[in-house]
Chain A
Amino acid sequence: MKNNTLIIIPAYNEENTIGNVIKGIRNVAQTSDIVVINDGSSDRTESAAKDAGAFVVNLPFNLGYGAALQTGFKYAVRHDYKYAIQMDGDGQHSPSSLKSLTTEIEKNNTDVVIGSRFLGDNNYNAPALRKIGMKIFSIITNFITGQKFTDPTSGYRAINNDILKFYSNDIYPVDYPDADVIIMLHQAGFRIMEIPVDMNPSLTGKSMHSGLKPIYYLFKMMLSIFVTILREPIREKV
């Protein structure tokens, strides 16, 4: 009973939310497989995900968001999925948008569909500081790619098999992959588009950015974008 589309959810200590996220997905997307990448959680994330009916890949220890996500991509490549959707396990990404992401990627007009929190009529409201950060990266990404991205840091995306293979490579930046990945994809000649998605703003907030991490994130992203431009464009190695 293998389907075309795999939904990848990296989860680190999400026992409270992961079950509902999976149930929410099951309600709207019966024809997709779900894999939860349990990134070395110390709580009951694994059993919560299994109970809700997802397939769980356990990492031996905490590798971080990007590496967990990449595990999902590698899993998808190995099991020959045509499409994959990445979403967060904290409930921020609403399953109601899965349909539109799937429809868009299955048209095969594009390689990546990014679910934007700012397109369309959306009530998503990020903390001020994060909003500024998002705005900066949006400006930089738009400037370099010449394409308009309203939400380059969104972790709610649909991708096709070419991208899955591209992402499974060692060139994938595993710590906080978002805006730099878009630039990398653009330089590699992939087609990217954005569609509006629904968010559950009440559930945002915690996630991976806390403490000194935003500063590191800002620095890392700037450096990563900078060296991505300096590098030879990576042609599709697929």
Chain B
Amino acid sequence: MPLRQQIFAILISIVIFIVIIELVRKRKLREEFSLIWLLTGFLLFILAIWYDLLLAITSLIGASLATSTLFFFGLVFLILINLYYSIKLSAIANQMKNLSQEVGILKSAVSSQQSAVRKKPVVNEANPSEDSDTVKE
């Protein structure tokens, strides 16, 4: 691999690494997700400094060009990460559904309690001698 390409690849992987660490530091990215991205950056870095490994993988899978190996695994990686997000989304949609159902049921319970409470002062107004303490007893 020409030196220029190598430097470029190393730079890219370092940038990815820094961005991810920074996102985690600012709490914009959860550690859970950062792991997968850090691994990606690390893999890029390895491939950039260890060109022979890339060539070995290329001949192992029977590809003719090192670049097609990169593109192929890049695509596979993207597909997998999308699948992972779909799974996450399904789980989140389910949790969200359960939460909204819960909110609906609880809200209805609260509002029916409130309307029951609101009825009480009306009784008190009818009998001014009765204050709220006696009602409680």
Q: Which residues of A are interface residues toward B (Cβ below 8 A)? A: 37, 55-61, 63, 67, 70-71, 74-75, 78, 170, 174
Contacts and interface: CB of A to CB of B under 8 A. Distances in A.
A58 B104 contact: yes
Contact of B107 (A58, A70, A170): A58
Nearest to A56: B108
A82 B107 CA distance: 23
B98 interface: yes
A160 B103 CA distance: 25
Interface of B: 94, 97-98, 100-101, 103-105, 107-108, 112
Contact of A61 (B94, B98, B100, B112): B100
* A contact face: mostly helix, strand, loop, or mixed: mixed
Scoring B100, B101, B108, B112 by chain A CB atoms within 10 A of each residue's CB, the highest score goes to: B101
Given A59-B104, A61-B100, 12 more contacts: A56-B108, A57-B104, A58-B107, A58-B108, A60-B100, A63-B100, A67-B100, A70-B101, A71-B105, A74-B101, A75-B105, A174-B97
A60 B97 contact: no
A170 B98 CA distance: 9
A170 B101 contact: no
Contacts of A60: 100, 103-104
25 contacts: A37-B104, A55-B108, A55-B112, A56-B108, A57-B104, A57-B108, A58-B104, A58-B107, A58-B108, A59-B101, A59-B103, A59-B104, A60-B100, A60-B104, A63-B97, A63-B100, A67-B97, A67-B100, A70-B101, A71-B101, A71-B104, A74-B101, A75-B108, A78-B105, A170-B98
Contacts of A63: 97, 100-101
A216 to B, nearest CB: 16
A78 B106 CA distance: 11
Contacts of A170: 94, 98
Contacts of A37: 104
Contacts of A71: 101, 104-105
B105 A74 contact: yes
A174 B96 CA distance: 13
Contacts of A75: 105, 108
Contacts of B107: 57-58
A170 B90 CA distance: 12
A24 B103 CA distance: 29
Contacts of B112: 55
Contacts of B104: 37, 57-60, 71
The 5 closest A-B pairs by CB, nearest first: A71-B101, A57-B108, A59-B104, A57-B104, A67-B97
A160 B97 CA distance: 24
A177 to B, nearest CB: 13
A71 B102 CA distance: 8
Nearest to B99: A60
Contacts of A67: 97, 100-101
Contacts of B108: 55-58, 75
A236 to B, nearest CB: 21
